[in-house]
Structure 1
Amino acid sequence: MVNPCPKFYIWGMPTKKPKVFVVHLGCAKNQVDAENLVGEMLHAGFATCDTAGKADYILVNTCGFIEAAKEESINAILAQAKAKKAKQKLIVSGCLSGRYGEELMKELPEVDYWVGTYKPGELLKKMGIVAPQSCDAENLPRMNLGGFSHHAYLKIAEGCNRRCAYCAIPLIRGKQDSRSIEDIVAEAKDLEAQGVKEITLIAQDTTYFGREKGKKGGTLVELLRALLDNTNIPWIRMLYWYPMFVDDELLDLMAKEPRLVKYVDMPIQHASDKMLKNMKRNYRKKELVDLLHKIRERIPGVTLRSTVLVGFPGETHEDFEELMELLQDVQFDHLGGFVFSPEEGTPVMEMDLPAVDESDARARLEAVTDYQEELAAEYAENMIGKTVKIIIDQVAEESEYHFYGRTEGNSMENDDIVKVIEGDGDVGEFHNALVVDAEPHELVVKLID
C-alpha cells in the first residue's frame, strides 16, 4: 500500500536512520501489536536491525498472561537493560507493562519508554515524534515479525467480554472491541498485495466478533463472506472459537468454501460440569460434546485443536477422569495443556476452593500429554502413502530436506510440520505431496506436482 501520510517529523533526529531491534514475547495478538508499533516507527523514519548491539533503540514487547510468561518478560527486560550501551534507548511495551507499568517504572529506571498494549501514536508521542492530524495510524504499514512473508496474523477484535475465572486478559486488554468489517477487509487486501497467501484471523473470541456492537457490528460469518468476496487469499484460518456462538451458518460456510481452512481451534479447558461452572465457562459437558461431534459431521476432514487446563482449584480425580473421557471420545487432532496459574484480580482468587497439589496437577498434565502423543503416533503411521496438500514455509538450509511446510490441518507456529525430501518449489507456494515417512508431529513428503 502506498501510504498518503507524509513522514513524521522527529525533533532533533539525525539524518541517519535510527535503528530499532525488537524482542517479541507472547501470543499472536501481542505480535500484531508489536508489528503495528514497529510499523509506526518505520513510517517515522526508523530502520530495523538484526542485533541489539547495532541498535539505537531496543524494543521489548512483553507478555503478562501467566506467571511463567511474566518471568520470561522480566528476564528479557533485565537482559537488555544490562547489555544496553550508554546512548541506546530501551522501550518496553505489551501486556506486562500495560498491567504493571507503574510498579515496573520504579524498579527499572534503565527503561527509557514504557507503553502498554498497542494504542496508535502513543509511543511516538512519548518519543517526541509529531504526526500530521491527517495521518490515520490504523492504515500504517505493519512490520512482519513472524519471519514468513507469505503468512500474516490479522487481529479482528481487541479485548474480551468473557470473565473466565482464571483469565487475566479482560484485566489487561479490557472488554471486546471489534474492528469494522471494512477496516479488516482493507488490511487483508493490503496483505494480499504484499504477497501474503495465508491470513490467520485472531481475537480472544473470534466467534463473538461484532456481537458487542449489535446489528452495527456484523458477525463472523459476514466478515468471512466479505473477505472471500474482496480478496483471493488462498487460505483463511481462524483462532480462537468459543463454544457458545458456533452456529450452523458458520459451519456450513466453512464446509462449502475451500478457501476457509478446515481447522477449528476451540479451547474447551475442561469437561466436568462442576469445573466448567467454577471456571465460569457458561456451558455444560453435554453441550460441548454435542458441538464437537457436530463440527466433525458438518465439516468433513476438519482438524480439531483444543487446550485444557488442569489443577484448577477444586479439581478432583473424578473431575479429571471426566476430562480424559471426553478427550478419548473426541480425539482432538492437536491438543495443548496448562497447569493452573493463580493470577491476581481474576475471579478465582475470590473463590473459596481447595488448591490442587502441584505434583498432582503436573501428573494430570503429563497424562493428557502422554495420551495425545499416542494419538499423534497413530496418525503419523496412518498418513504414510497418502497425498496431502501443503504450503511451503521455508527453505530447509543445512539439512537433508529441501523445505519445511505445513498441511491445511496445521497452523503456523502451533502444530506439526512437513519436511520435503524431494521436489522443487518456492516459499509460499502450494503443492501436492506424497507422504513417504512420518513421526509424531512431522510428515516427510515428496512433491508430486
Structure 2
Amino acid sequence: MLPTRRDVIAGLCSTLFEWLPGCNRATPKPVTITYMDPEWSHDRSQRRFNSEGLLRQFEKETGIKVKHLPAPETSEGQLKLTQELLAEKDTPDVLGIDVIWSGLLDDALLDLRPFFSSELSASDSDLVKSYTVNNRLVAIPYRPYVGVLLYRTDLLTKYGYHTPPQTWPELERMAFRIQQGERAAGEKDFWGFVWPGAADECLTCLALEWQVSEGGGRIIEANRTISVNNENAIRAWQRAARWIGWISPPGITAYEEWDSINHFQNSGKAAFGRGWTSDYFLTNPAKSMIDGEVGVTSVPSGGLAVGTLGGFGIGISKGSKHQREAIALVRFLLHQESALEAASTGAKLPTGAEVYRLPTVLKAYSRSISASQPVGERIVSRPSTVVGRNYDDVSHAYAQAVHSVLTRKKSARVAAAELEAELERITGFVKGPAEPTETRISNLK
C-alpha cells in the first residue's frame, strides 16, 4: 500500500522536527537565567535603570530571559547568601563575585578561562590574578572599584582652597577649619570627615589604606609573612583614632558604608567622605541633595598614596542548568562595559562633576585629567589570594583589632601585638617586616 499524502507530511514533520517550524509543534518556552548583582540591589539612581536596560537588550538580542535577584546590603551578608545559594540545587546562574571571594567560592564556580580568551587578553593581569585560584579563573573582572576621597567643591571654594587635600595632615587641617566655619554659621551637627568605622570589611579596606600609606605593610605580605605589629601601622591607627570626636562624629565607629554615604551625600553634613568609585560610577553619578557640588580625588597619603582595590567580577555557578546561556550573558555584559570605557576615555565628566588626582585604575578618566596635576594613587589589594579560605577570619580579626583602637578599648600597641599572634594562629604564617613598596603595591595601569 502506497503512503498517503498525510503519511508523507507526517514523516517530514518527524524528520525535520529540530529545525522546521510549524507542523503543529509547540513553541518552546524561553530559557530564564538568574543573575545576582549586588550593585543593582541597592542602587536607587539612574544606574539601576541602566542595568535593567542592559538585561532587556540582552533578552531582545538572544531570546534568553534574565531575572535579577536581590542581595543583602553588607559584604558579609552578600557572601553568606552567595555561599548558601551555591549549595542549593537551584543555584543562581550568574553571580557578582567580590574581588575577595575567589578563594572562598572557587569549588562552586565554573572555570571561565576556556570561554573568554579574547576578553582576558584585554584585561589587566593583576585584576585577573585576583579572580584566579589554582590556575582556575572563577570570575571575569568586570567593574573594579577603588577607594577615593569625596569632597565638597562648594565648601573648598568658600574657604579658599583651590585643590583637595593630598596628605592626611592637609585633610585634618582643611576638615577642621571647614567644620568650625559651618558650625559658626549655624550647622551645629556639621563634621569635617565621615567614613564607615564599624568593625566589618569596610574598616579592613580603610585601615589597610591608612597602614600601607605609612609603610606599615598590607596585613599579610605576598611572601606569607604577617606585617601588622610595627611602628608605621601603629602610628596610622593612632592617627585615625584621634579623628573621632575631633573631625569625625563620636558615633563613626558604628557607621556602615551606607551610613557614611547618607551623612555626606544625602544630608550634606560633612566636608569630606571616604567612598568608592569606578569608571562606571563616574560616568553615571548618583543624584543627591548636594548634586553638582561633589568632587572625587585619590585617598590622602602618608608617605605613599594608595587606595584599596574593590569591585566585582562575574562568575557562573558550576551547578547552573543553563551554562551556555549564562556564558552568553557574561560575554554580553563584558562587551557592553568595554564599549562604555572606550566611549568615556578622554570624554568630559557629567555636568557639575569635578576630579583631581584620580586613581590610576580609573582608565577612562585618570588619563584625561590635566597633565599638571600630581599622579593619582596606586592600588593595594587585600591579602585574599595569599590566605585563601582563611581570608574571612583574617579580615574579621584585623577589623576587630583596629576597631578596638578606634573605640579606645585597647592601645594601638596592645592591639597590634595581639592581632599578630591571632593571625599567626589563623594562617600558620610567621611575622615579618613589611615588604618594600615596589612589591607591596599592585600598580594597575
TM range, smaller chain: under 0.3
Structure scoring higher RCO (CA < 8 A, sep ≥ 6) equals 2
Between structures 1 and 2, the one with greater helix share = 2
Between structures 1 and 2, the one with greater strand share = 1
Larger radius of gyration: 2
